[in-house]
Amino acid sequence: MISIQLEVCVDDAAGLAAAIEGGADRIELCSALALGGLTPSAGLMAQASTAPIPVYAMIRPRAGDFVFSETEVAMMGVEIDAARAAGLAGVVLGANLADGRLDMATLQRLAARANGMGLTLHRAFDLTPDFQAALDSAVALGFERILTSGGAKTAPEGLEELVGIVKNAAGRISIMPGSGLTQATVGDLLDRLPVFEVHSSCSLAEPAQDSRAVALGFAPAVARKTSAALVAALKSSLQARRD
């Protein structure tokens, strides 16, 4: 059996520590996971540079779609430079055209800026109208992997599409299922998908401790926090499949 790696997405220093404690194999480092993940701060990237496992920084300058202006693309280039300067292993990128196709010109520029670093294509892939064409483009651009839910809200819901995507990848690029993956859902997915890495937040919903901060708009009433126990449980499930 193949060894299945676990990537955990985190958006703060506590989450980073919890993911490492739980046994994650790689970190996707973000800010604002509630918005799908934005570029992490310079301070968080510096903190992550001491991690004993590879860390990939999300490069996304704002919430919303992945159709970026020239100004935003320039910002993303600077953010890639910051991830490199921090000593991180790679970056997570994505960009679409208005019709949903991958923005090849922008991705070529950003991939060149990240030359020598690892590259993950994020779920901008899920917005594309033709998964086969997007997959071929990702291979041509030199991405290592595609993070995808098969175009659905969660990977379990997109399982049928994921089966086709993995088949069409034909070993040319890693397909990493993500969104909605937990210890309870990963088994059925892996029964159908011959993949060797998965992506999860391994998080729990926790109420805010300071009601005044919520009242003043500084914090949400409920936030999700990375759980070392959930990371360890999911990692154990993946390990059991290998054994």
Band of pLDDT at residue 218, cut at 50, 70 and 90: confident
Terminal Cα-to-Cα distance of the chain (whole angstroms) = 7
**Helices first, then strands: H and E counts in the chain:** 9, 10
Segment 143-177, tens digit of pLDDT:
999 999 999 999 999 999 999 999 999 999 999 99
CA angle 126, 132, 136 (to 5 degrees): 100
Domain ranges for the chain, please list them.
5-242
Domain 5-242: give its CATH code: 3.20.20.380
Q: What is the CA radius of gyration of the chain?
A: 17
Q: Strand 222-226 to strand 203-207: parallel, antiparallel, or no bridges (unpaired)?
A: antiparallel
Q: pTM for the whole thing? A: 0.94
Residue 203 has pLDDT above 60, yes or no: yes
